[in-house]
Every structure is written in structure tokens, then in C-alpha cells.
Amino acid sequence: MPVSRAPAGSGRDLLGVLHPSARALPGPQPVTPPPVATGGRLSRTALGLLGTAALLLSVAASVRIGSADVGYGELGRALGGRLGLAVEPLPPLLDSLIWDLRLPRVLLAALVGAALAVCGAVLQAVTRNALAEPYLLGVSSGASTGAVVVVVLGIGAGSLGVTGGAFTGALLSFGLLLILLRRGGLDSLRIVLTGVIVGEFFAAVTALILMASGDADTTRAITHWLLGSMASARWDVVVIGAVTTVVGLAVTWACAGALDGFAFGADTAASLGVGVRATRATLLVVTALMTSVAVASVGAIGFVGLIVPHGVRFLVGPTHRVLLPFTALAGAVFLVWADALARIAFTPREVPVGVFTALLGVPLFLLILRKRGEL
């Protein structure tokens, strides 16, 4: 295996060619981050409005969808009652269905979708690898292990909580990944293979913990959760998710210039005046935090971070200042609909949403590859 590769050389293999920094592609994007043209800005404004409208509409539409059909009248009564309007209150159980379960669930799907998609975009730039995302790099597995240690073994249940455990696990897996990648540079294939190894290692630890201490029922419950399920969404989780997603978005967006630099390699970033080590560390910690909050609340949902940034890059180009907000919007819309599908596709059974993101994600990914002329 080559110890390191010149940025130009890595653009020639399949993985490299997918990368935003791949220059020789017949893609619609200009080669360097361009000064945004007036026409482009207008269409981006329009696209931005369109995206926001799509998100709001998706949330409004999918709130109705589920095992129980919720009408807008009932929705209005549930919301109106809480806003102090004079509406006829719903029966308590129906009110609880809408207010305690359905609304937080849809909002959490939007928040987690946005967070995971942004994590994918950031990791792809920082590691200069088109296939980077929390799931593929083993970060989700690390977060799952941390969460399972807390839930099943009860270690740190009081002090850390599930989110804390997931965060520790995510950081550990990231640390392990970086230690393994310490020598030899950030070659695309190396990163993916190392990420897979780290992921497998943590998956094995999780399996070991479940085998050693879980009874069949706990194992079943955890397995369902590990596949990614929104069923446990409540308002407290939504608040945590909202705070992390907003903070994470703000931090990564503030680093947008640095991310553009990273996409062209650490040397380019350094020459652009980016403090490479500190910025990279900040971005990795922020993505680890966002991933672990997502995993702790809904389990490991894969492919969102892979699919969404690629699709969005195709639409708005690789400049992170634009790419990140659109990625967040698209990720939110994507997961809101994936979860709505998970709720009703096999009623009365509910399918873990992670299964659907993979089922939807893989063909979409192939389509993107094909559009870019790589398949």
C-alpha cells in the first residue's frame, strides 16, 4: 500500500474521482470555489426558499402519517389547546398520541437527518474521502458500543447517561481511527478500510456485551434500536437534538472556508492560512458530538451522511458555505420521509428506519455515481 499519495494522483481512482476535489470530472461545478455569480445567487436563493418550504411541508404532511391517521382538525386542537386557544380539547390518549409521540418524532427525524447529513459532508471534506460518513467510518458503531455499555452494563448510567456513553464511544472510535491512520497520510482507500475495521471492532464489542449480559429480550430490544428507530422520540430528546444540531451547524458553517481548503488537501488548507490541526480537531469533535447525540436518541442510522451531501453537491456545488445549509435541509427532508415510510410501510409492524435509509440510499447512491459518469 502506498504510504502517501499526491492529491492529484488520488483523483484518478474510483474513490478519489467521486471526491469533491476531483478536478478532471465533467461535472457541472467549476474547479475552484468561485466568486458566486449573481445568477447563481438568485437561483440559490430560490433553491433555499424551495428547500425550506419542502422541509416545512414535509413536516406538516408527515405528522399525519402513522399507524393512527391524524387529521389536521385533531392536530389543530392538540396544538391550539397548548397555545391557549379556545378549542375543544382532545381525549387525553389521542392528544398524547399527537403531542407526546408523533410531533416530537417528526421533529427529531428532521434534526437527526440534518445532523447526520452535515456530519457526512464535513467528514468527506476533512478526510478527503467521498465515502466518509459516520456509519462507514465506524463512529456510529463506537457510539452504539458506548450507549450499550451504559444501557446494558449500567456503567456510567448515573454520571454519563446514554448520550454521554455514546459520545465517549464515538470519540474513542474516532481516536482509534486517527491513531491507525497516523502514519501514511489520508489515502482514500486506507481511510475506508480502516474505518470498516474500527466499525467491525466496535460492533464485535457490542455483540460481546449483549451476549455476556443481556437476556434474549434485552438483546432483541437493543438490536431493534441499533438498526435505528425513532419510536423512542420524546420532547426531551428533541430539545437535546435541536441544541446539538444548531450548534453543530453553526460551528461547521463557521469553518466552511477551512472545509473548502481541506477538500483540496491539508497543504492547500495550510497555504490558505487554516490552522490545520486545530480546525481538524474541532471539526472531528463536533461531528463526533452530533453523531453520538443522534445515535443515543435513535440508534445508528446509516447512509444519510453518504447520500445527502453527494446529492446536494450535485445541485449546488462543492462550496461549503452553500453546501452545508442545503445538506442540512435535504437531510432533514430525507429522514422525515424515510421515517414516515418506516411507520406505515408494513403496518401494523414498524420497520427500523435505518433499514429504509439503506434501502433508499443505496440505489440513490448508484444513481449519483451514474449521473457523474462513473458507472
Partner 1 sequence: MPQRARAGLVFALALVAAGCADSGGQDRSGSNGAVTVASCGRDLSFDRAPERAVALDQGATEMLLELGLEDRMVGTAHLVTDIAPRYREAYEQVPVLSPDILTGEQLREATPDVTVASFAALYSRDRAGTREELAELGLPSYVSAVDCPEDNEAGLTPFDRLFVDYENLGRIFGVEDRAAELIAEQRQVVEEAEETRETVTDPPTVVWLYSVFNGLPYVAGNGGIPSDISQRLGVVNAFDDVDEQWPEVTWEEIAERDPDLLVIGDLSERGAPGDSAEEKLTMLRDHPVVSRLDAVRETRIIEVPGIEMDPSVRSVNTLRLVAEGLRDLGYAG
Residues in contact with partner 1 by the rule CB under 8 A: 66-68, 91-94, 96-97, 100-102, 211, 215-218, 221, 224-225, 229, 231-232, 234, 348-350
Distance CA 110, CA 131 (A): 23
DSSP states of 292-329 as a string?
Answer: HHHHHHH----SHHHHHHHHHHHHH-S-HHHHHHHHHH
CA terminus-to-terminus distance, the chain: 25
Closest by Cα among 281, 301, 251, 278 to 143: 301
- Residue 216 backbone dihedrals phi, psi, to 5 degrees: -55, -35
CB nearer to partner 1: give 244 or 297: 297
Query: Which CB atom, from 121 or from 340, has the smaller least distance to partner 1?
Result: 340
Q: What minimum distance in Å lies between the beta carbon of 44 and partner 1?
A: 39
CB 212 → partner 1: shortest distance, Å?
10
Non-local CB neighbours of 142 within 8 Å, separated by 6+ positions:
169, 170, 171, 172, 173, 174, 176, 198, 199, 202
CB of 247 to partner 1, least distance (A): 25
How far apart (Å, rounded) are the C-alpha atoms in residues 290 and 284? Answer: 10
The nearer residue to partner 1, 88 or 215, going by C-beta atoms, is: 215
Return the C-alpha cell found at 142. 463506537
Q: Quick one: 219 or 282, whose CB is closer to partner 1?
A: 219
Least Å distance, CB 331 to partner 1, is 22
CB of 205 to partner 1, least distance (A): 18
Could you tell me the smallest distance in angstroms from the CB atom of residue 156 to partner 1?
20
Closest CB to partner 1 among 234 and 370? 234
The nearer residue to partner 1, 43 or 347, going by C-beta atoms, is 347
Contact between 209 and 152 under an 8 Å Cβ cutoff? The reply is yes
